[in-house]
Amino acid sequence: MVGFVSAFLLPKKPETLFVWQIATHPSQQGKGIATSLIQHLLTRPFCQPIVHVEATISPDNKASFRLFEKLAETLHTSIHHEPLFGKELFPDSHEDEDLYRVGPISQKELKNQEETR
Ligand SMILES: CC(C)(COP(=O)(O)OP(=O)(O)OC[C@H]1O[C@@H](n2cnc3c(N)ncnc32)[C@H](O)[C@@H]1OP(=O)(O)O)[C@@H](O)C(=O)NCCC(=O)NCCS
């Protein structure tokens, strides 16, 4: 396995796909695998009502930030972030987790991306 993604629709905001975990094997990073995983998820039938993608990212996780920034660029939409969980809330030595939100996402834009890949 070279890549993995888990995500769910937020129960109170079913138009939002929350990316819980995403990872690409270190030997395969930077080849567009994580981007493809998210874009593929977004074209599945259960994601048709999706308007936003959310994820939490620690400030030091540059790769993850760039992944979601690139998703926003590719889909010609915006990315916003706000503080969510401060490091004092974690029992171990963990960085802050900020909430990132990509969207609004147009299904037409998604279809265009799928066709050009
Ligand atoms: C975050 C992660 C999933 C990205 O996977 P990936 O398959 O390398 O991502 P992509 O190839 O689709 O790259 C997306 C963008 O991020 C950039 N990127 C990838 N790794 C990067 C790094 N270490 N530093 C900066 N940018 C990085 C890519 O260059 C690309 O941008 P570009 O097209 O402008 O060049 C991967 O680095 C990873 O598995 N990290 C460890 C697990 C993790 O932190 N997951 C996120 C929290 S759950």
Q: Is the pLDDT of residue 63 over 80?
A: yes
Q: Is the pLDDT of residue 51 over 90?
A: yes
Residue ID of nearest Cα to ligand 1 atom 14: 67
CB 66 within 8 A of CB 102: no
The pLDDT score that the predictor gives to residue 59 is 92
Strand partners, 17: 9, 53
pTM above 0.85? yes
Ligand 1 is surrounded, with C-beta below 6 A, by 21-24, 29-35, 61-64, 66-67, 70
Query: What top-level class would CATH report for the domain 3-116?
Result: alpha beta
CA–CA gap between residue 100 and residue 98 (Å, rounded): 6
Of the candidates 43, 71, 52, the residue with the CA atom closest to the CA atom of residue 9: 52
Mutate to test the pocket of ligand 1, among 56, 61, 62, 66 (most ligand atoms within 8 A of CB): 66
Give the pLDDT confidence of 68-87 residue by residue, as tens digits: 999 999 999 999 999 999 99
Q: Is the pLDDT of residue 115 over 90?
A: no
CB 18 within 8 A of CB 54: yes
Mutate to test the pocket of ligand 1, among 1, 2, 33, 67 (most ligand atoms within 8 A of CB): 67
Q: Where are the domains of the chain?
A: 3-116
CA–CA gap between residue 45 and residue 62 (Å, rounded): 31
